[in-house]
Each structure stands twice: as C-alpha cells, then as structure tokens.
C-alpha cells in the first residue's frame, strides 16, 4: 500500500496543517461581501434553462452539479428526454465561481488533479478553457514567530513525517481490526523520543496531510481505508477564469429547472414521481446526485425506502469540509513569486495554509484553507472575526504595516443546506465497498452519482463527473 497524498501534495513542501478558527474583525472593510450562506446572484446568465414546461421526461436528474450535468449530457446525447431539477438558483453545486470581488474565485473545487487521462482536462480543451499549472514546490513556510524556515528545517519535518508514516503504513497491513488513523499515529509516535518542537511541527504536518486532503482530521479517518483512492498523473492545474466554464459548457442545450427543491422520490416498476416545490415531475428513471451530506440528513423521502445496503453505506460514510477565506488587498505585500505559504502557529489547524493568486490571475488576493474539525469550527464565527483572525496571522509574518483587505469572501460549506459539507471521506470501519454500494442502481429505476459514489476517485471533480457518465451508461 503506497502513501496517498494525492490531492494536495504541496502540503509537504509547506509543512502546513489544517485550517481553522481564530477570531478577529475587520471593521475597516466597507460594504462586506456575502459569505457562502448568502449566495450572490449568479454571474452567468447564458445557461439555458426553463422555469416552466413539461413535467415528464425519459429521465429525471436530481441536481445540476458536475455529476448531474455529466449524466444528463450523456443521456441527452443519446436522444433521451432529460430534465434536470436543481434547488439552487445556479448550476454547479459544489463547483461555484464567485465574481463578487470583481474577479473569478472558485469557492468550491479549484484544481484538475492530474491532467493525464482526466476527463475534466479533456473538457477544458473541448470548451477552450484556459488552465494554469501549479508548482507545489514554490512555497515558503513560517514559524509561529513569523521567521521563515530554512530548506533544511522543512526537510527535517518531512523526513520525520515520512519515517513515522512508514510505520503507520505497515499497520494498515498488519492490524487485525480497523482503527482511526490518529490512533495509529499516536501508537507510532509514542515509541519515539520526540522533543516538544518536533512533535509540534509533526502534528501540523499530519493535520495538513489529512484535514486539507480529505476534509477530515486523522481521528475521523479509517486506518485501513483512508487513502484507498487512486490518483491520476500529470500536472495539477487551476482555472484562472473560473471552474464554472466547465459546468457552463456541459449545460448548454440541457433542460435545467433552477429553484426546484425536491421533497420526495417515489419509484417502482411503473417509473418515478418526484415531488418538488414546483409540482410533480414524472419519468421512467431518475439519477440522484444529492451530496452525501444531504443523503445522511434524510432530507428527501424515498418511497419505498432505500435498500439496507445503500442506507447502511450512507450511514457509514462521512462528509468532511474544506472552507476557504479569500482576502483581496489594494497591493501585494508578500513575495509575489511564490504560490503560497504555510504558517506553523501555536495551535495546529489555525491559519496554516495560504495560497497566493498573483501567479495565477495577477491580482493581490490571498486565500486560506480551513479543513476538518477546524473547518467546521470557523463556520461558527462571524465574518469580521474570521477576517480579523486572518489578519492577525498575516501581521505576524509580514508586519503590522500591511494594508487592510478591501474585500473578502468566506465559504461555509458545512452550513450550506444543499451540501452540508465539501466532500466525502472514509471513517473508521467504513470502506470503498460503501462507495460501490452507494453507486449501485435500485430496481433499474433509481440510479446514483456523485463524488461519494466513485470508488477510485472520491472527493474529486473528475470522480463526480465519471460517476455521472457511469450512471448514464449503466442506465443505457
């Protein structure tokens, strides 16, 4: 079993941790911008959709995220009549490009994780979408007092983590019962005679490799299966003009009904009836793409109830969170040649991971990640407290004279009732089999898609897209 640090390996270079919750406030910011719990008006106005029209189709697709769009596109291209029902007033789901700061900022998905054999990379080419590669080695790391760590110090942290992880990796094969990843780390670390500083930096590194990778802390991850996902090769790239170009391209020509909230799904041998805020929609079959967080809340009634195999998988799997804090400044006061930096503060998970958008879009924008338990915790703070916490950290590193931000955007995916998290992960005693069970069709009428249904690439855009295509092909 190989070490799987697939989604954000630059955490290694930065020796960073999760992200988090410190409180502060930026009273000098005028006209505070909306956070994720208050969606700004959709920027794109050219997505063809109908708010009225037939309520009958060959296939109903529930959700206009990347999985739903992929399924609908595949089915429509085969000549089937497809209607997509979407509760939001925009498409994309957890792919959302916000323009409220006057530039495109992705609040959900940001990267194509490995362009080789990646269908999202192919779609980018098809739609003529510009991408920019990221260099995970182009990062700096700062200690709690703001001092920049030397390359030697960073290597020491990485070497220590690698040696400890090698023993944890062996436990994946040798233990008779599953446990949390944190328990395994604790067992291995207990055999080492580490100094307080070594342990402090190591914990930051562990947090970064888990909380920012999987949206969950190591105590919420299965030792046996936390890294069972696969990875694609090639460069990892971002979209300078926004990820929404992919969903916009897929949506062209599809019948999408926005603002339609699904209440119940009744299915059987005679087809399916979906009760919504806009009346009843009927079809021969349905593709369900609700996020795992929504399924876990049982917010939508299924009649008959879902099979035990599927419901048990929903119950066993877990939903994590990765939140973002964007700050736009009047000028660049950091090293504009680097792509980001890590901060090893006093508490693991607090303002550890920063990304600079100067190399990508040429704008003075910084973004901080907040993942796992700290990612959920930051959602309980006010916008002002969050911005103030970010600025406290930046002042430690760059001094008290740095300018105040002129705008900000904050995500709260855990509080979003249509997401209830960012993406799925495998907690102790769950496995990849649960992802397969969640994907499995029911009675050749009810089909499922979404990142939490794709065993090889859960938690990724390409996994969600591939699941939508797979559900459509299974149906066909």
Reading the chain (476 residues) residue by residue, the pLDDT tens digits are 233 333 334 333 333 232 222 222 232 222 222 333 344 333 344 555 555 678 999 999 999 999 999 999 999 999 999 999 999 999 999 999 999 999 999 999 999 999 999 999 999 999 999 999 998 789 999 999 999 999 999 899 899 999 999 999 999 999 999 999 999 999 999 999 999 999 998 988 888 889 989 999 999 999 999 999 999 999 999 999 999 999 999 999 999 999 999 999 999 999 999 999 999 999 999 999 999 999 999 989 999 999 999 999 999 999 999 999 999 999 999 999 999 999 999 888 889 999 999 999 999 999 999 999 999 999 999 999 999 999 999 999 999 999 999 999 999 999 999 999 999 999 999 999 999 999 999 999 999 999 999 999 999 999 999 999 999 999 99
Q: What angle do CA 298, 299, 304 make, to 5 degrees?
A: 60
What distance in Å separates the CA atoms of residue 217 and residue 469, rounded to the nearest whole number?
Answer: 31
Residues 293, 421: contact at Cβ < 8 Å? Answer: yes
H or E stretch covering 306: none
CATH (domain of 259): 3.50.50.60
| Residue at 305 is within a domain | yes
Helix 151-174 × helix 196-214 angle, to 10° = 70
Both structure tokens of 14: 């930065």
The pTM score is 0.89
| Residue at 46 is within a domain | no
Q: What is the pLDDT of residue 25?
A: 28
Q: Is 450 helix (H, G, I), strand (E, B) or coil?
A: coil
119-to-75, 285, 475 alpha-carbon distances in Å: 17, 25, 20
| Residue at 440 is within a domain | yes
| Residue at 254 is within a domain | yes
| Residue at 60 is within a domain | yes
| Residue at 456 is within a domain | yes
Both structure tokens of 126: 């098809």
Residues 189, 334: contact at Cβ < 8 Å? Answer: no
Q: What count of other Cβ atoms lies within 10 Å of the Cβ of residue 261?
A: 16
**Structural domain range at position 285:** 56-94+239-318+427-475
What distance in Å separates the CA atoms of residue 421 and residue 337, rounded to the nearest whole number?
Answer: 33
The number of domains in the chain is 1
| Residue at 294 is within a domain | yes
| Residue at 259 is within a domain | yes
């Amino acid at each position: 079993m190989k070490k799987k640090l697939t989604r954000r390996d630059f955490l290694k270079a930065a020796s960073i941790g999760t992200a988090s919750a410190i409180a502060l406030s930026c009273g000098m910011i005028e006209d505070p911008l909306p956070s994720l719990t208050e969606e700004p008006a959709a920027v794109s106005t050219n997505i063809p959709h109908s708010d009225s029209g037939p309520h009958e189709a060959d296939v109903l697709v529930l959700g206009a995220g990347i999985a739903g769009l992929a399924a609908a596109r595949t089915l429509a291209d085969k000549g089937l009549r497809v209607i997509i029902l979407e509760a939001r007033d925009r498409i994309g789901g957890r792919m959302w490009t916000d323009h409220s700061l006057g530039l495109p900022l992705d609040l959900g998905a940001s990267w194509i994780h490995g362009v080789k054999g990646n269908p999202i990379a192919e779609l980018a080419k098809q739609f003529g979408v510009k991408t920019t590669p990221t260099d995970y080695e182009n990062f700096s790391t700062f200690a709690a007092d703001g001092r920049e760590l030397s390359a030697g110090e960073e290597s020491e942290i990485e070497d220590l983590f690698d040696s400890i992880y090698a023993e944890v990796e062996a436990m994946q094969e040798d233990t008779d019962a599953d446990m949390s990843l944190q328990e395994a780390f604790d067992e291995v670390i207990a055999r080492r005679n580490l100094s307080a500083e070594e342990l402090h930096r190591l914990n930051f590194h562990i947090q970064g490799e888990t909380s920012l990778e999987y949206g969950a802390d190591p105590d919420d991850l299965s030792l046996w299966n936390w890294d069972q996902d696969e990875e694609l090769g090639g460069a990892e790239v971002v979209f300078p003009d926004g990820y929404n170009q992919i969903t916009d391209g897929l949506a062209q020509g599809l019948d999408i009904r926005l603002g339609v909230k699904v209440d119940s799904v009744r299915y059987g041998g005679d087809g399916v009836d979906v009760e919504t805020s806009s009346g009843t929609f009927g079809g021969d079959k349905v593709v369900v793409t609700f996020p795992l967080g929504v399924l876990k809340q049982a917010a939508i009634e299924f009649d008959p109830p879902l099979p035990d195999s599927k419901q048990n998988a929903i119950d066993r799997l877990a939903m994590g969170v990765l939140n973002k804090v964007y700050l736009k400044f009047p000028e660049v006061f950091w090293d504009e040649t680097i792509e980001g930096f890590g901060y090893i503060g006093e508490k693991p998970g607090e303002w550890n991971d920063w990304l600079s958008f100067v190399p990508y879009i040429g704008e003075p924008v910084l973004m901080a990640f907040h993942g796992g338990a700290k990612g959920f915790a930051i959602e309980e703070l006010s916008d002002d407290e969050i911005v103030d916490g970010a600025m406290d950290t930046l002042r430690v590193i760059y001094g008290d004279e740095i300018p105040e931000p002129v705008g900000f955007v904050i995500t709260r995916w855990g509080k979003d009732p249509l997401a209830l998290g960012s993406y799925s992960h495998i907690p102790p005693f769950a496995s990849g089999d649960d992802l397969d069970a969640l994907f499995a069709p029911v009675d050749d009428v009810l089909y499922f898609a979404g990142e939490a249904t794709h065993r090889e690439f859960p938690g990724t855009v390409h996994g969600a897209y591939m699941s939508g295509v797979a559900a459509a092909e299974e149906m066909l």
